Amino acid sequence: MRPVLSILSFSLYLTVFGQGTVAPDGTAFHSEVRVKNGSNQQVLINVVPKGSALPLQGSAFMLDPGREEVIAQYDDQGDFVSPVQKLVVSGRVTNLRGKQRTIGVLMMEKRQVDAHHRIWYYEVMSGGMRVGIGF
């Protein structure tokens, strides 16, 4: 019974005080989040922070085809935290009849700039992420 209690207390410690180890020199881990429009349409991008994870307000903006935009920047102590845990990013397009539909916006890659700087990329899917099954 004792080992289970120590595992539970360790997991509680990680939940309360965060995961990872703090860098020895006290530097922060800087994350930059960008979104690319890989479609051939103008897309309305909505960015909503999850809870109070980021000191950002929600934002919405139009993103032209082929463009890239920085949507968030934040610092973390200890280790990099994925923006999937901090943001909800969605996209909407309007067709010729004026009807809006949701288009896929996915986390696609991360690039390590240096030891304490990482860029995360979301991408608007070119086909709108429609999945069809044919027989």
Domain membership of residue 80 (yes or no) is yes
Residue 92's pLDDT is: 93
Domain membership of residue 100 (yes or no) is yes
* pTM (two decimals): 0.69
Q: Whose CA is closest to 38, among 100, 96, 109?
A: 109
Bridge partners for 70 per DSSP: 34
Along the 135 residues of the chain, how does pLDDT read in single tens digits? Answer: 333 333 333 333 333 333 433 445 567 899 999 999 988 899 999 998 887 656 556 788 999 999 999 998 888 888 888 998 888 999 999 888 989 999 889 888 899 999 999 999 999 987 644 444 444
Domain membership of residue 94 (yes or no) is yes
Instruction: Determine the structural domain holding residue 115 and report its residue range.
Output: 20-124
DSSP secondary structure of 50-101: -TTSSSPPPEEEEE-TT-EEEEEEEEESSS---GGGTEEEEEEEE-TTS-EE
The structural domain count of the chain equals 1
Residue 126's pLDDT is: 74
Domain membership of residue 2 (yes or no) is no
If one counts every other C-beta atom within 10 angstroms of the C-beta of residue 130, the result is: 9
| Rounded Cα gap, residues 38 and 128, in angstroms | 10
